[in-house]
Amino acid sequence: MHPPAITTPLQFISFYKFVQIPDPDACCALLHKITQGLLGSILVAHEGINGMLAASGEALDQFEKSLSEDPRFESRFTGIHFKRSECRTQPFGRLKIKHKPEIVPLGIPDVDATSKTGIDLDPEQWRELIAQDDVVLLDNRNSFEFRLGRFRNAIDPGVTNFRDFSRYVEEHLDEWKSSGKKVAMYCTGGIRCEKTSAWMLDLGMPVYQLKGGILNFFEKLPDAERDWEGECFVFDNRIALDTKLRETDTTAADVYGDHPDEVWRLQRAERLNDSE
């Protein structure tokens, strides 16, 4: 079941940036100072920042301004893109700011997404590309996310842990190269694709990627349902959004319940709800 509905208006933002951060611990300390009263999760690593927060619109406006303009961050986060949506339930129960080895784990060592990435396409360009016959369209998310919703004609690489996607790519790379296929991939917010595409460039495979991910596609295109079927899973208490970025009635049990491989995810979701 969903957590109780909120009684005061809340908004949600997600954001990330691959950028060199020499002292992640010092960055975390500064983030604690500008997130008073906010709830959510921010990960910081030498390779960048990745966050999701919920609060009033005014509080989020102030956070965005501080992250982008506070001189203590030395302009590292200037130009960062924030994706925002409304909340029907409280997405988070607390605030977590952590120093991690990576802001998105791929199970591949020494991938540098701060200096290179794939070919970014805005939502309109993406729509044109995936309508072509010579495109391999990869869903760069977990299989349970794919089952809930996907771009039409997308391929599910069968990901149950983060190493599965790289294994699928390695198994099909020569085939894609020899056939001259264009490879396009997408994920929820864009971060996983940016890092994966940096690794695929090292393999000699340029990749098209949806700038800002699925959520940006929904935000920018009022008729996103032309290309998308189902809902989009989000990793917070809202569980899933429709193509208008509205929270749906889907529950964690709906997402995981019928699949034995996902029992642990359902149990984790239930524990988080109980603890929050």
Catalytic residues: 187
Helix ranges (H only) for the chain are 24-34, 57-69, 123-130, 143-148, 163-179, 191-202, 213-220, 252-256, 263-275
Report strand pairing: 135-139 vs 240-241: unpaired
Rounded CA separation 194/118 (Å): 7
Rounded CA separation 178/199 (Å): 19
Q: Of how many residues is the chain composed?
A: 276
Collapse the DSSP code of 156 into the 3-class scheme (helix H, G, I; strand E, B; otherwise coil) and give the result.
coil
CA torsion sign for 259, 263, 268, 271 is: positive
Rounded CA separation 234/186 (Å): 14
